[in-house]
Amino acid sequence: DVVMTQTPVSLSVAIGQPASISCKSSQSLVGTSGKTYLNWLLQRPGQSPKRLIYLVSKLDSGIPDRFSGSGSETDFTLKISRVEADDLGVYYCLQGTHFPQTFGGGTKLELK
Amino acid sequence: EVKLVESGGGLVQPGRSLKLSCAASGFSFNDYWMGWVRQAPGKGLEWIGEINQDSSTINYTPSLKDKFTISRDNAQNTLYLQMSKLGSEDTAIYYCARARYLDYWGQGVMVTVSS
């Protein structure tokens, strides 16, 4: 299975400040189609996960452009330009290129 | 609005079986792969498997293949997860999600395996 390693495990950020989460995969996530199936999800406290970003950098509908995704091959990053209170929760990366799909261990974003 | 509502969870004794359902609405159910993901208490997310539109292809994460069976009823817009020989390690919240890229998730249903 592809191992997805997220860092940091937790992150404390003040409102209005930027945040960055790293996700590294144990093998390239470029698929045979040339697409890279790397998603980012947010699980707010007490809620189910919600997808924020797909195909590395494409924002889902309704997701503010404070969020951005980047990366290639095995190294990926989620950035929040200015953290808001609604952003707290656990962020997961997810790869869908290789079977079975696998998630990162999660990064807990807390407000400072 | 896409809506996924799981049901059928609860307390079950070790070794027993349980079947979860996921009622879908707000999209054309029979046009999409569907899948299941679980989350043990305080832990991360684990992909269980997925089923294609006409049930001709069903994929499971290898470690769970002998324990879980995914099925669907397109006439009822419902996804199912049959779980057998349950153990304490199967205690988790079970989510259904629209596959293949998990763009929409249900609210989840809790399954507790305990005597």
Asked whether the beta carbons of residue B102 and residue A60 sit closer than 8 angstroms, the reply is no
Chain A contact set for B58 (CB, 8 A): none
Whole-number average pLDDT of chain B = 96
Tokens 């924002």 belong to A59
Determine phi and psi for B64, rounding to 5 degrees. -115, 0
B88: number of Cβ within 10 Å: 11
| Backbone φ/ψ region at A97: left (φ over 0), alpha (ψ -120 to 50), beta | alpha
Query: Minimal Cα–Cα distance from B81 to chain A, Å?
Result: 17
pLDDT in tens, A55-106: 999 999 999 999 999 999 999 999 999 999 999 999 999 999 999 999 999 9
The C-alpha atoms of residue A100 and residue B58 are separated, in whole angstroms, by 12
Q: Which residue from B102, B106, B107 is facing A94, i.e. has the nearest CB?
A: B102
A39, closest residue in chain B (CA to CA): B101
Percent share of chain B, pLDDT over 70: 100
Strand order of the sheet with strand B18-25? B3-7, B18-25, B78-83, B68-73
The C-alpha atoms of residue A80 and residue A15 are separated, in whole angstroms, by 11
Residues 1-30 of A with CB under 8 A from B: none
Residue B38 has pLDDT above 90, yes or no: yes
Chain B contact set for A60 (CB, 8 A): 103
The C-alpha atoms of residue B41 and residue A76 are separated, in whole angstroms, by 27
Residue B98 has pLDDT above 90, yes or no: yes
| Confidence grade of residue B100 (pLDDT, cut at 50, 70, 90) | confident
Size of interface A-B (CB pairs under 8 A): 49
Residue B97 has pLDDT above 90, yes or no: yes
Chain B contact set for A101 (CB, 8 A): 47, 102
The C-alpha atoms of residue A103 and residue A93 are separated, in whole angstroms, by 6
